[in-house]
Amino acid sequence: MKLKKFLKVTGIVILIFIVALVTIPIIFKGKIEQLIKDSINDNLNAKLEFADTDISLLRNFPDASVQITDLSLVNYAPFLGDTLVKVNSIDLKMSLSQLIASGDEPLSLDYFAIDGAKVKVLVNETGEANYDIAKASTETEEEETTNKETTEESTSGFQLNVKGYELTNAEVVYIDKSLGMEVLVANLNHSGSGDLSLETSELTTKTTANVSFVMDSTKYLNKNSISLDAIFGVDLANNKYSFLDNKLLVNKLPLVFDGYVQLLDEGQMVDLTFKTPSTDFKNLLALIPEAYSKDIEGVETEGAFSINGKASGVIDEEHDMPTLSINIVSNNAKFKYPALPKSVENIDINASITNTTGNMNDIIVDVKNFSFKIDTDTFKANAYMQNLMENFTAKANFDGTINLANLSKAYPVELDIPLSGTLKAKMATAFDMNSIENGQYQNTTNSGSVSLSGFSYSSDAMANPLTINNTALTFNNTKVSLDDFDMKSGSTDIKAAGSISNFLGYMLNNELLKGNFDITSNNFNLNDFMVVEAEEENTVVEEENTTPTPTEEAQIKIPDFLDATVTVKANKVQYDQLNLTNAKGSLVIKDETATLKDVSTNVLGGTVTLNGNASTKGDTSTFDMDLGIKSFTIAEAFEELELFKALAPVAKAVEGTLNSSLSLKGNLDESLSPDLTTLSGNAIAELLGNGINIKESNALSALNSSVNFIDLSNLNVKDLKAILKFENGKVNVEPFQVNYKDISIDISGTHGFDQTMNYNATFNVPAKYLGSDVSKLLSKLNDSSMDNTIVPVTANITGTFTSPKINTDVKQAVTDLTTQLIAKQKDKLINTGTEKAQTVISNLISGNKSETDTTETTPTKTTKEEVKNVVKDKINNLFKKKK
């Protein structure tokens, strides 16, 4: 009985314990969530949010565990809406007593882990930082003293009993716009362990990351891998952290540290030394990212390379950094990759980075010597840089020759295409940024020359290899002169000369690149620079992308950094099947706009002149051009030029030449070709036609078949003039006239660039051409005033130019003419009486001749009506007979 009672009690206790394990997290979940949010939001000018908290007493029993997911800390103004911190999950482990402790009691954690943290630190142009989010204190001096004592008492019992902590898959972005600096630490993984509840302890850590560093648009580190295994001595009483045993790898360059960092009431004290553990020259290759240096294990090296340095001093409000001394030295070194035929020899490096004041602006970079030799070519350089932050000042000298083909033979650089040619440079420069920014180029010194000869470049993106036979540049204080430029590609040859007036302003201060150039060519074939994609490649793409997704095509832009004037003269220019000769003119490029001035060329048997501009400024590229055309061969023009096909499709049937003046404006597509649907402007065209071939136009052929009184192939199109106005894909042709024998034709209407049309052609036809019945009627009237009667016949032409629809009013015109002729004689006939009128009209229409009855009668109302009816009946019979 006692055993049963014991088991019963035990079961009840276990049940209560299990219920407690389940219910306690539920009870305290809201409290913990609110505690976290209140403590953060009450003390920071930022908004903390997280999706959920998961509290468990079972996961790490007997300790409690808390997981916070999808946490974010979002800035208020002046960085409103920017996310300072975003974390996938935070895991905390603590004792149950800590979980249920009151909010006033100190918190002790045994373990924490942070996964997927993304931290984005921003400093704007005025120096404001998005991490400066602590709320300003409003306490009085007395309150501060009291609270400080209280805080010290309350935190004296704070314990961070860390047996392990971990940071995984983290990313830190630091962007300082005031300094022009960007740092990216990606793939950051850090872990550590130690008992930080002790005043002195050791913290064992392991860190890996990829680091990129950009300063003033120059990339100094590009995803360089960094690894640090370190044991730190932690002295919490003195806030001092020492390097006990460590090894840092930058890419594969090893560095060891010694010294400490101590936190002071105002700043930090730093005393560190570092060096490479060996002087093997492979240390230099190891500093280069592996993607560029490849596997250096098998590289043969000679000579030494070392880095050593010291950083010491206080970092506080008066000192940006500790004093610094770094030396980089290599003497008569050499390396050779086993798979490559050539080596890099006589490598000498003597460089230092120093700072003696603790002010970041006083950093001095002094490259006393940097030289190397590949084969028989040598290259030497030195540079001195100071005032890095305020007024960057530099002096540099370059002197050497490099055979470009030898680069890939001595170093494993991956090139899509092989390089060739010889680069020679002998230059000296000295400048400061204040002078550059203020345009005081007289304070700069530049001298020397650069030349490139025998350079060849080819790729799958080009139809032909590009060869630069020779190019030569001369530098002085005010400009860079292009003394010679001689290039060939396929059948194309180009020679150029000119000058650039502010090369340093462009290179160092993002100013416009100003220049003037003269370009000449005997033959310039644009087809030499074009490639047609292989048909089979397109087929593969179509098979793979059965459900294509829309992609945004990159838009070609006129460079916004150019302010240049180019004069061009080419004896022959070829584009597709279009041949131009004696092309000349000038091109001004400025503000993303290319302006053509007095450009002229001979083409299609005539000449064309161009003035206008094309602009890629803004979201939509535009153009505005005036063209003058003289003596174009019409057939060739309509065969080669899409614009003429769109503006006047029917004119293709005219045999002869064309003179025209056009004003065009509209939008350009991504390839800088005119978008015809946006085209607007006007044109005055003069056709000097010798004849017309209606077989070249479906519309003219259809019209010719619809009227039997004219042969359109014999139209007189000599000196034909037409005025066209067009806008938004529609062309309006103002009324103009053509002639066929003694028939004039008035034409007007509209058509679209989509080939739809709506035209009216009014034929002013002498009555004698309207059929034998009308001719007989005219002869029987015996009235000479009717011989020159003109009848307007209208044809409406709709549909498309390839499938036209013709509607004419010939029948109605004949009807109207007949009515007009009968009415001409009505008054005479009415006076002869009803019976006589019937006889005369019958004879008139049927063809029987009779003498005119001159008997005068007094017509009655009934007689007049009867005559009208007779006329009406006879006219109707006339058309029945004709049918």
User: What is the per-residue DSSP string for 364-414?
Assistant: EEEEEEEEEEETTEEEEEEEEEE--SSS-EEEEEEEEEEEHHHHHHHS---
Cβ neighbours, 10 Å, residue 676? 19
Token pair 């003498």 is at which residue? 851
CB 485 within 8 A of CB 450: no
Q: Under 8 Å CB-to-CB from 767, ≥6 apart: which residues?
A: 774, 778, 786, 789, 790, 791, 817
Residue 33: predicted pLDDT: 57
Residue with tokens 């058509």: 751
- How large is the average pLDDT for residues 463-484? 86
**What pTM does this model have?**
0.61
CA dihedral 557, 562, 564, 568 (to 10 degrees): -30
Mean pLDDT score, 482-492? 90
Residue 738's closest CA among 753, 728, 750, 748? 748
pLDDT band at 672 (very low <50, low <70, confident <90, very high): confident
| Residue 533 confidence (pLDDT) | 45
**Which amino acid, residue 502?**
N
At residue 511, does pLDDT exceed 70?
A: yes
Residue 142, C-beta contacts closer than 8 angstroms, at least 6 positions apart? none
**Lowest model confidence (mean pLDDT) among 41-45, 63-67, 475-479, 709-713:** 41-45
Residue 806 token pair: 């013709």
β-pair type (111-115, 164-176): parallel
Q: How many C-alpha atoms does 157 have within 13 Å on its Cβ side?
A: 8
Mean pLDDT of 269-280: 88
Average pLDDT over residues 752-769: 85
Lowest mean pLDDT across 567-571, 721-725, 751-755, 837-841: 837-841
Rounded Cα gap, residues 333 and 293, in angstroms? 17
d(CA 85, CA 99): 25
Confidence of residue 436 (pLDDT cuts 50, 70, 90): confident
Q: Residue range 811-829: average pLDDT? A: 70
Contact 235, 194 (CB under 8 A): no
Contact predicate 261/272, CB 8 Å: yes
Q: Hey, which bits of 728-862 come out as E strands?
A: 730-740, 743-752, 757-766, 790-799, 804-808
Calculate the average pLDDT of the chain: 77
Q: pLDDT value at position 826?
A: 64
Angle at 418 between CA 416 and CA 419, to 5 degrees: 120
Split at pLDDT 50, 70, 90, the class of 882 is: very low
Query: Which of 274-278, 506-510, 582-586, 677-681 has the highest mean predicted lDDT (pLDDT)?
Result: 582-586
The residue ranking higher by pLDDT, 62 or 561, is 561
The more confidently predicted of residues 526 and 679 is 679
Tell me which of 6-20, 52-66, 311-325, 358-372 is least confident: 6-20
Distance CA 787, CA 769 (A): 12
How far apart (Å, rounded) are the C-alpha atoms in residues 504 and 394? 12
- Helix 834-846 and helix 772-781: axis angle, to 10°? 130
The pLDDT-based confidence of 73 (bands split at 50, 70, 90) is: confident
Q: What is the mean pLDDT of residues 296-315?
A: 88
